[in-house]
A and B are shown apart, each in its own frame.
Chain A
């Protein structure tokens, strides 16, 4: 089971080092970690994904909260939340037929072609990890030259009047 933690941290030099040092010292196994700016100046946000069969997410949260530069830690795994992963995938497109086929797949996955080269094409995909995994599986046979993924980012959904809307 993957658990997703969000940590709001002070945007200062060395903070990532403190967090990384904690994970190493306590032998916490982290699936992914993303860091970026937030709506508040001076505050960064980390999304941390933990495989709870190997690492107790509760312990990760409690220990993170003890770091002086950590402002707030939330476990959003059980909350209705938007979880996204971004991938850039460079795929071989030796001829126009392959390119056309590729564009269809890209469309189906609601991804985008962001660079078209002579022999390659870069696909940008955003979505849940499962969706991105699915795209990677389908593109595999074409020959993936290079790939980069951001790891999960997450945000809790706003309050709803009607339940039902999901994606």
Chain B
């Protein structure tokens, strides 16, 4: 069967099980677009290529499958870069296919030529410039394998125009890819490490399990629960590990780190053993490294050998799949109760509850914690929540209590403002029957607001909760706390977001008090199409700041807590 390079792209995407791609056509890729409709693969036309990469990422995170983005050469390709870097940092499997100028023109500074394989070298797991159409099918098959196997990540395939146009005999690549998975082995024996880990666990009095993104990717939530219950250990999650352990479980500590739950951070600082599973000790997690978990021995399980002993030097490092490791560990660990440890954690939890903003009566003014809590209650914790980056992201992580995996989608490692809306497009397409809430700030939404047009064109019933405080809020909070309240370049003169949304065809409401908040959430949930609620929330001060907060350079237990209300009546 003779096929052009363009046809091979779709033929191979179909064979890899792709149902939808996100992209924008352009001069150097339109030849590939041309035969698409003959292959039954849906194309979602985004409004900026960054949106295509984020949507593919959101699709991948919600579905567990590989997401695909397509863009043209030059600016189309460079616009993908932020999305690729985001996927790289959060180990999200996406494939980006870019058009390139025809092979004879490469290196001549041709119109819309850019060296995208050079540019994306450090932010892709691997990339390809295909110069021979005979190699194309094999490259696409390998790209899917690389993106989704081991520690997942983005793969880019750059396709010169002539390669798209050239016909060749299509030979389906052999299933399976022969890649060296373990090109380097140090001398330590992983099964020995598991025994040593079990010994440390059995002899510990105050263990804490740190559950990361790896739990979700290894689909290890069930076995983690079994393990945690057997050793009776509390579990803290990372931002990307949310949903890896049920928030409603009695041993759930909450999120760890800079804006983590106080009891999680305190437990880490008091623990005599950390069992870190599929996480990488990000600096937002550890606080001051030299004083991180000072009393704890450390066991670290990660698929990626390069993560072991990278930031935190551990007592036992296990380079293995976290699910397999847990199933090997369970028979080796002794069941036991740790009532004293749980009692201590319980006291910290009570203290946190007393400081919690949503348990205070307040003056009816809206705060983001109230907004998230209300959405959590009305959706019964069952929604997929996609966030942008900033204060609202931390509040969403704190207050949307998640029991199920792959339902909290956020840009963790790169912290990409503008991620939320396009990623939610991907998540809603991956889960058409799910209720998807997009939690965004007034700063971040404007970085990719044009994707509202995509939402409407694709008729996606996204519910957008815009937490509008008129500031780049997280930066403003730092300015308030550490930069003499000088709000340098953080105040936003915003458009009327209700009008803006309506102009795109998105039904919108505004809410500035709790009654309107409840009404708007109910109305948005009733409405069959896309909706946006402009929540006018506290701008600054105690109600406008995210607590707890571990300031830069501080240890986890030195977090700044929410102040107690000072005057009666103003509580």
Shortest CB–CB separation between residue B127 and chain A, in angstroms?
9
Residue in B117, B118, B146, B180 whose beta carbon sits within 8 Å of that of A71 in the complex: B180
| B108 close to A (CB within 8 Å) | no
- When A and B form their complex, what is the total count of cross-chain residue pairs whose Cβ atoms lie within 8 Å? 45
Q: Which residue of B lies closest to A22 (CB)?
A: B122
Q: In the bound complex, do residue A65 and residue B121 qualify as a contact, i.e. CB atoms below 8 Å apart?
A: no
Q: Which residue of A lies closest to B145 (CB)?
A: A68
Shortest CB–CB separation between residue A78 and chain B, in angstroms?
10
| A104 close to B (CB within 8 Å) | no
The stretch from B160-168, B211-219, B246-254, B302-310 touching chain A is B302-310
Q: In the bound complex, do residue B122 and residue A21 qualify as a contact, i.e. CB atoms below 8 Å apart?
A: yes
Given A66-B304, A71-B180, A72-B180, verify A59-B122 contact (CB < 8 Å).
no
Query: Mask for B299-321, Cβ within 8 A of A = 1, else 0?
Result: 00000111001100000000000
List of A residues within 8 angstroms of B183 by Cβ: 64-66, 70-73
| B182 close to A (CB within 8 Å) | yes
| A34 close to B (CB within 8 Å) | no
List of B residues within 8 angstroms of A144 by Cβ: none
Shortest CB–CB separation between residue B132 and chain A, in angstroms?
12
Query: Mask for A16-55, Cβ within 8 A of B = 1, else 0?
Result: 0110011011000000000000000000000000000000
Shortest CB–CB separation between residue A1 and chain B, in angstroms?
17
Shortest CB–CB separation between residue B65 and chain A, in angstroms?
21
Query: Once bound together, how far apart are the Cα atoms of A17 and B129, in whole Å?
Result: 13
Interface size class of A (residues with CB under 8 A): 20 to 34
Which of A57-71 touch B at CB < 8 Å?
Answer: 58-59, 61-68, 70-71
| A164 close to B (CB within 8 Å) | no
Shortest CB–CB separation between residue A149 and chain B, in angstroms?
27
| A117 close to B (CB within 8 Å) | no
Residue in A18, A66, A74 whose beta carbon sits within 8 Å of that of B121 in the complex: A18
Q: In the bound complex, do residue A68 and residue B126 qualify as a contact, i.e. CB atoms below 8 Å apart?
A: yes
Query: Once bound together, how far apart are the Cα atoms of A65 and B184, in whole Å?
Result: 6
Q: Which residue of B lies closest to A61 (CB)?
A: B184
List of B residues within 8 angstroms of A71 by Cβ: 180, 183
Query: Once bound together, how far apart are the Cα atoms of A18 and B184, in whole Å?
Result: 17
Q: In the bound complex, do residue A62 and residue B305 qualify as a contact, i.e. CB atoms below 8 Å apart?
A: yes
Interface size class of B (residues with CB under 8 A): 10 to 19
Query: Mask for B114-146, Cβ within 8 A of A = 1, else 0?
Result: 000110011001100100000000000000001
Given A14-B129, A25-B122, A65-B305, verify A70-B310 contact (CB < 8 Å).
no
Given A14-B129, A71-B183, A73-B184, verify A62-B121 contact (CB < 8 Å).
no
Q: Which residue of A lies closest to B177 (CB)?
A: A68
List of B residues within 8 angstroms of A18 by Cβ: 121
Q: In the bound complex, do residue A68 and residue B179 qualify as a contact, i.e. CB atoms below 8 Å apart?
A: yes
Query: Once bound together, how far apart are the Cα atoms of A64 and B305, in whole Å?
Result: 11
Query: Once bound together, how far apart are the Cα atoms of A71 and B125, in whole Å?
Result: 15
| B186 close to A (CB within 8 Å) | yes
Query: Once bound together, how far apart are the Cα atoms of A64 and B129, in whole Å?
Result: 21
List of B residues within 8 angstroms of A68 by Cβ: 125-126, 146, 179
Q: Which residue of A lies closest to B304 (CB)?
A: A66
Query: Mask for B431-450, Cβ within 8 A of A = 1, else 0?
Result: 00000000000000000000
Q: In the bound complex, do residue A70 and residue B304 qualify as a contact, i.e. CB atoms below 8 Å apart?
A: no
Given A18-B121, A68-B179, verify A62-B126 contact (CB < 8 Å).
no
Most buried by B among A68, A71, A73: A68
Shortest CB–CB separation between residue B32 and chain A, in angstroms?
22
Q: Which residue of A lies closest to B125 (CB)?
A: A68
Query: Mask for B200-225, Cβ within 8 A of A = 1, else 0?
Result: 00000000000000000000000000
List of A residues within 8 angstroms of B117 by Cβ: 14
Q: Which residue of B lies closest to A69 (CB)?
A: B126
Query: Once bound together, how far apart are the Cα atoms of A68 and B128, in whole Å?
Result: 11
Which of A66-104 touch B at CB < 8 Å?
Answer: 66-68, 70-74
Q: In the bound complex, do residue B184 and residue A17 qualify as a contact, i.e. CB atoms below 8 Å apart?
A: no
Return the 6 tightest CB-CB contacts between A and B, nearest first: A65-B184, A65-B183, A73-B184, A62-B306, A68-B126, A25-B122
25 contacts between A and B (CB under 8 A): A18-B121, A21-B121, A21-B122, A22-B122, A25-B122, A58-B186, A58-B309, A59-B306, A59-B310, A64-B183, A65-B182, A65-B183, A65-B184, A65-B305, A65-B306, A66-B304, A66-B306, A68-B146, A68-B179, A70-B180, A71-B180, A71-B183, A72-B183, A73-B183, A73-B184
9 A-B pairs besides A66-B306, A68-B179, A71-B180 with CB distance below 8 A are: A17-B118, A24-B122, A62-B184, A62-B305, A64-B184, A65-B182, A66-B183, A67-B126, A72-B180
